[in-house]
Structure 1
Amino acid sequence: MRIVIAGGHGQIGLRLAKLLAGRGDEAVGLIRRAAQADDLVAVGAEPIICDLEAAPVEELAEYLAGADAVVFAAGAGPGSGIARKDTVDRAAATLCADAAEQVGVRRFLVVSAMGVDHEPPAGTDEVFAAYLRAKGAADADVRARPELDWTILRPGRLTDDPGTGLVTLAEHTDRGAIPRDDVAAVLVALLDEPATAGRSLDLIDGKATIPQAITTLTRS
């Protein structure tokens, strides 16, 4: 498969690219800066420079043409302000969805966050609240697109602990943590299982292996 990862140099994007390339898939990472390219090459992926905050949809569509799937794993990241939460976490996701539709790429995965379907609680830090609203708006936009076979993955608190391969994956879970290694591995499993399309899924640590968790989902 040819998989294009928006946010290819992110902590999840790089892990995902390495897993895909390691099993023989064609992993393509969209990156903002040429200086990031070597890190993609090192994990076996093809880097493409594309600033998702500036690129027109026609340019992005050219990069997505011929792909089997798109994974939106981009984010403004720590230290960014309210404006970039909107331009990256919302608008860039919408741009990627528009481009995928334009070239007929149906499979579309989004790395989102837990709790974004509701207004942030009173007292939430204003930048974090903007992030949650941006993610929620992006998810709503993607869910409204019948031309896409979308899956929205909503990890809990992300950690850099080694992955365990043991998860809880369901439409709703309690709050919890999850290693980025396991998020990447779950994304690979979702790409392999088209029956997970049309679902928004929470992900935290758990007791089920990833194949077991996917099987449980597809039977429910």
Structure 2
Amino acid sequence: MRIVIAGGHGQIALRLERLLARRGDEVAGVIRRPEQAGDLLAAGAEPVVCDLESASVADISRHLEGADAAVFAAGAGPGSGIERKDTVDRGAATLFADAAEAAGVRRFVVVSSMGADGEPPEGTDPVFAAYLRAKGAADADVRSRAGLDWTILRPGRLTDDPGTGLVTLDDSTGRGEVTRDDVAAVLVGLLDEPGTAGRTLELIGGRTPVEEAVRAVAG
């Protein structure tokens, strides 16, 4: 498969690129800064420099031509303000979905966030609340598209601990932690399992092997 990943220099994306490249897939990662290219090459991915905050649908769709799947794993990141939560976590996700449809790429997987549905609880930090609203709006946009076979993955609190290969994956899991390694492994499973299209899934650490957990939620 050829898979194009938006946010290709992110911590989950780099892990995903390594896993996909290791098994022989052709992987491209969309990055904003040229100096990030070396890390993608080391992960086995082709770096594609394209700023999703300023690019057009046509700019992005040409990088998606011939792809079998697209993964949106971009985010404004720590230290960014409310405005960039909207322009990246919502706006760039919508743009990438537009580009996938324009390029005829149906399989579309989104890395979202637990808590993205509904209004954030009272007292939530304003920047984090903006992040959750942006993710929720992007997810709603993707779910409305008949031209995409989408799956939305909402991990719990992310950690850098080594992956266990054991997870809980379901429509609703309750709060919990999950390693970035295990998120990347689940993304591989979702890409391989078309029966998960049309599902919005939460993910935390658990007791079920990744492949078994993905099979269990397939339609």
TM-score range, shorter chain: over 0.9
- Corresponding position of 2:31: 31
Superposed CA deviations along residues 32-67 of structure 1, whole A, max 9, x for unmatched, are 011000000001110000000010110000001110
Normalised to the residue count of structure 1, the TM-score between the two structures is 0.99
Q: Distance in 2 between matches of 1:218 and 1:6?
A: 24
Q: Distance in 2 between matches of 1:214 and 1:109?
A: 14
- Corresponding position of 1:121: 121
Letter in 2 for 1:27: V
- Corresponding position of 1:165: 165
Cα offset for 1:182? 0.4
Matches within 5 A, 1:53-64: 53-64=53-64
Q: Distance in 2 between matches of 1:162 and 1:175?
A: 20
Q: Distance in 2 between matches of 1:133 and 1:193?
A: 28
Q: Which runs of 5+ in 2 are unaligned?
A: none
Q: Distance in 1 between matches of 2:215 and 2:60?
A: 34
Q: Distance in 2 between matches of 1:167 and 1:124?
A: 27
Q: Which runs of at least 4 in structure 1 moved beyond 3 Å after TM superposition?
A: none
Superposed CA deviations along residues 122-153 of structure 1, whole A, max 9, x for unmatched, are 11111000000000000000000011000000
Q: Confirm or deny that 1:150 pairs with 2:150.
A: yes
Q: Distance in 2 between matches of 1:217 and 1:106?
A: 20
- Corresponding position of 2:186: 186
- Corresponding position of 1:20: 20
Superposed CA deviations along residues 149-188 of structure 1, whole A, max 9, x for unmatched, are 0000000000000000000000001100000000000000
Letter in 1 for 2:126: E
Q: Distance in 2 between matches of 1:217 and 1:184?
A: 17
Aligned-partner SS, 1:53 = coil
Q: Distance in 2 between matches of 1:210 and 1:138?
A: 26
Cα offset for 1:218? 2.1
Size of the alignment, in residue pairs? 219
Aligned-residue RMSD, C-alpha: 0.6
Q: Distance in 2 between matches of 1:10 and 1:214?
A: 23
Normalised to the residue count of structure 2, the TM-score between the two structures is 0.99
Cα offset for 1:217? 1.2
Cα offset for 1:78? 0.3
Letter in 1 for 2:23: R
